[in-house]
Amino acid sequence: MSTIVINANDRSSVKLFLDLAKKLNFKARVLTDEQNENLALLTMMEERSSEESLPIESALNILANVK
């Protein structure tokens, strides 16, 4: 299974993608802002997991710019 994440700027675009997914028999759902932030944090942590360490100032800067 593969996952696609699409960020839409307006409700009509969201509806269009949801309707298309339904027509193609795909599972689709809209994430809340909190779920989207959690996904971004998880992605960031996974990308950085191979690094030995990250200075605290860099981590705080990254977190401040997530959204």
Domain that holds residue 9: 1-30
Total structural domains within the chain: 2
Residues 23 and 50 placed together within one structural domain of the fold: no
Residues 36 and 56 placed together within one structural domain of the fold: yes
Token pair of 35 as six digits: 């779920």
Give me the pLDDT at residue 29, please: 93
Residues 9 and 23 placed together within one structural domain of the fold: yes
Residues 14 and 39 placed together within one structural domain of the fold: no
| pLDDT tens digits, one per residue of 2-31 | 888 898 989 999 999 999 999 999 999 999
Whole-angstrom distance, CA of residue 3 vs CA of residue 27: 10
Residues 36 and 20 placed together within one structural domain of the fold: no
Beta-carbon contacts of 44 under 8 Å, excluding residues fewer than 6 positions away, are 62, 66
The model carries a pTM of 0.57
Residue pair 14/7 in contact by the 8 Å Cβ criterion = no
Residues 35 and 63 placed together within one structural domain of the fold: yes
Whole-angstrom distance, CA of residue 7 vs CA of residue 30: 10
